[in-house]
A = this chain, B = another copy of it.
Amino acid sequence: MRMSGCIDGCLSQDQPTISQSSGNVVDGINLEDIKEFAKAFKLRRLGLGLTQTQVGQALSVTEGPAYSQSAICSALASQMLAAQLSSQQQNIFEKLDITPKSAQKIKPVLERWMKEAEERYASGQNHLTDFIGMEPSKKRKRRTSFTPQALELLNAHFERNTHPSGTEITGLAHQLGYEREVIRIWFCNKRQALKNTVRMMSKGIV
Q: With A194-B81, A206-B110 as given contacts, are A200 and B72 in contact (CB-CB < 8 Å)?
A: yes
Q: What is the total number of residues of chain A having a CB less than 8 Å from a CB of chain B?
A: 79
Is A117 an interface residue when CB atoms closer than 8 A count as contact?
no
| CB-contact partner of A159 in B73, B84, B197, B201, under 8 A | B84
Q: With A98-B198, A200-B75 as given contacts, are A70 and B13 in contact (CB-CB < 8 Å)?
A: no
B72 with A206: CB separation less than 8 A? yes
How near does chain B come to A137, taking the closest CB pair, in angstroms? 9
- Complex: chain B residue closest to A163, CB-CB: B65
A4 with B68: CB separation less than 8 A? no
B18 with A70: CB separation less than 8 A? no
| CB-contact partner of A105 in B155, B158, B195, B204, under 8 A | B204
Complex contacts, A142 vs chain B, CB 8 Å: 163
**A interface residues, Cβ below 8 angstroms from B:** 2-4, 6, 9-10, 13, 15-16, 18-19, 59-60, 63-68, 70-79, 81-82, 84-86, 89, 92, 95-99, 102-103, 105-106, 109-110, 139, 142, 148, 151-152, 155-156, 158-163, 165, 189-206
